[in-house]
Amino acid sequence: MELSNPTTTPTLNATQPLRGYFIPLITVPSHISNLVDIAKLFSSRGVHVTILTTHHTSLRFKQSIHDWGFKIDLHIVDFPFREVGLPEGVENYSDATPEQASQLFQAFMMLQKPMEDAIRAAKPDFIVSDRYYHWSTDLARELAIPRLIFHVRCYFALCAAEVVAKFAPHEKVESDTDLFFLPDLPDTIHMTRLQLPEWIQTRNMFTVLNERMDEADRECYGVIVNSCYELERAYADFYRSNLGRRAWCIGPYPVHCDKVGKKKGDDSKKHSCFEWLDKMGEGEVIYVSFGTLSCFSPAQISELATALEMSGHPFIWVVRNGEKLLPDGFEERITEQDKGVLIKDWAPQVKILEHPAVGGFLTHCGWNSTVESLAAGVPMVTWPLGAEQFFNEKLISGVLKVGVEVGSEKWSRGIVPNTDMIEKDKIERAIKELMSKEPEAEERRQKVKELSKAPRNAVEEGGSSRNNLSDLIEKLQRLKANEISVSTNSE
């Protein structure tokens, strides 16, 4: 891997490779890993890739790039710690306290100018940036190059968000808990106002930011989606045809990277949890994880811990910072009885889900976790918290029918505890329903096993995601050669 801070660019000619700048959202871990995976995929096709980021954020993925053997440059800009009063190294919401969230957001907004200056100096052939960098659409237009947006959302969530914005069905019900229908979608989907993001429920500063991002989405060249066509066929077609958006699904990224990279060893398999998993029976373990930014109250942690014990199923629970909130004696009891394993830091989630002992996933419905569970053929207990997770739940349980809903009813921001208390009885019921041997549960397991073939086949030679990546790179090459025009995503 080469580290660089380029200031000059050689004259381009027809024989030079495409040069792309990739800009991950440095404040959210899942956004970072996804865009780094996209960069790896482009690099595997001979594209000259540069990731534009900050120093401490680069430490999260530099080793991964090295281990996979990809030739990717890094362009480092300074993060304004001192200007906003943050300690050095706090560049991410997972490292920040709730009290530091506003300072972190302020620092993130201050990165626009140095990032713009870096891209202007480098003069790449295209930009791939997180949707939060809405300004990169205007910059791409100024440089007469395409900007591609990376979304952590699936096609279903993108379509659902579009019809909510277009038809405002949530404004036609009398209360926050009344069900409303999402019009035009291929399936019948109902939600409540409480399940929508707060900036949709009540106009605030984030409403304005999201409107800017939506406008930039419509004006950019196209969208890259972490999915495969076969998994969301109806919604991929709806997004492109009914909504008129240009998009390429080239995922799932981790599975796709496995096919094109040459990783040096696999340390994830050395994690201590696998020795315990190897002793468990096939499909009897429930895996529990709520992503990197989810936050629960002590009372909710206690309810979840009690429900896991009551369920009678062995479990792996990724608690991270939640271990200090666990009920007294809980960890000692489950360890002594060999009932469960607590993981208090990073978890090799993909490998855990692929282990034959894992038969269910209690998840917050983040799309990364969802698509990893689908690719592994593991059904889910759905417990959405914020972001677009309530949309994802509707896909999992309502459309694909491979999940059991725990009963979450209220959207919340990830950096503060969710106030929607889910009682232990509800959690226990959902786990038992998912893990049971009843015909409905067996049908769910068989369905998700069949679905798991789609994302894996898509990244094989000749698969839809492989072909979509080829098509996208070909179009970028033609744009560079001025064979086609850089029209907007809404045309």
Read off the pLDDT of residues 16-44 as tens digits, 9 standing for 90 and up.
889 999 999 999 988 999 999 999 999 99
* Residue 178 designated active-site: no
The topology (CATH level 3) of 2-262+456-480 is Rossmann fold (3.40.50)
* Residue 31 designated active-site: yes
pLDDT at position 138: 97
pLDDT at position 257: 86
Q: With helix as H, strand as E and coil as C, how does the chain read?
A: CEECCCCCCCCCCCCCCCEEEEECCCCCHHHHHHHHHHHHHHHHCCCEEEEEEEHHHHCCCHHHHHHHCCCEEEEEECCCHHHHCCCCCCCCCCCCCHHHHHHHHHHHHCCHHHHHHHHHHHCCCEEEEECCCCHHHHHHHHHCCCEEEEECCCHHHHHHHHHHHHHCHHHHCCCCCCCEECCCCCCCCEECHHHCCHHHHCCCHHHHHHHHHHHHHHHCCEEEECCCCCCCHHHHHHHHHHCCCCEEECCCHHHHHHHHCCCCCCHHHHCCHHHHHCCCCCCCEEEEECCCCCCCCHHHHHHHHHHHHHHCCCEEEECHHHHHHCCCCHHHHHHHCCCEEEECCCCCHHHHHHCCCEEEEEECCCHHHHHHHHHHCCCEEECCCCCCHHHHHHHHHHHCCCEEECCCCCCCCCCCCCCCCCCHHHHHHHHHHHHCCCHHHHHHHHHHHHHCHHHHHHCCCCCHHHHHHHHHHHHHHHHHCCCCCCCCCCC
pLDDT higher than threshold 80 for residue 264: no
Q: How confident is the model at residue 491 (pLDDT cuts 50, 70, 90)?
A: low
Catalytic residue, candidates 37, 125, 130, 217: 130
pLDDT higher than threshold 50 for residue 14: no
Q: What is the pTM of this model?
A: 0.93
Read off the pLDDT of residues 270-325 as tens digits, 9 standing for 90 and up.
899 999 999 999 999 999 999 988 889 899 999 999 999 999 999 999 997 666 78
CATH number attached to the domain at 267-454: 3.40.50.2000
Do 2-262+456-480 and 267-454 share a fold?
yes
Sorted by where each begins, the domain ranges of the chain are 2-262+456-480, 267-454
pLDDT at position 421: 93
